[in-house]
Amino acid sequence: MSSYPEHYCEEAHMLTATNKEDMMKPFNWEDVKKKKENIPMLEFNDLLRERLEAIENVLASKQDEYASDGNRLHNFDKAAEVIGTTPERALRGMWMKHLVSVLDIIESPTSKNISKIHVDEKIGDTINYLILLEYMLERRRTDEEAIKALD
């Protein structure tokens, strides 16, 4: 049985039917499973390995592009200064564009217009921003500890 709600499957069936005759047929999850048997499934560990490698490659290349004076968070620090907020809030604003793209992918009724490259890019960008946020929060925590140690 599908892990998707029945109404979702029926909506997807209506949207992906190739002709009126197919649209009029009742939705049958077994038909979908038969079609899926012919599609090679990417193993989770392979996906994880590919994602981790992509994260490392992108963050390394972006460091050269965005870091100034060795500060990986330079753009967020500068944006915060310009708009009068914290670096974390500046990151949130920049990250929101990527998050909205992921939400659009989730809300898309079918995967017809969603390429693997597009999904990889948007998911990767979202993960990378979370890693940068974690780094930023750690920087803030250690800065606060250093200040307390001086008191």
Which pLDDT tens digit goes with each residue over 77-122? 999 999 999 999 999 999 999 999 999 999 887 777 688 898 999 9
Angle in degrees, 0-180, between the axes of helices 116-150 and 87-107, rounded to the nearest 10: 160
Q: What is the pLDDT of residues 26-51, one digit of tens each?
A: 777 777 666 666 556 668 888 889 99
Q: What is the pLDDT of residue 81?
A: 97
Amino acid 66: pLDDT: 78
Paired tokens of 131: 């890693």
Residue 100 has a pLDDT of: 95
Domain residue spans of the chain: 1-41, 42-150
pTM of the model: 0.69
Quote the percentage of the chain above a pLDDT of 70.
Answer: 75
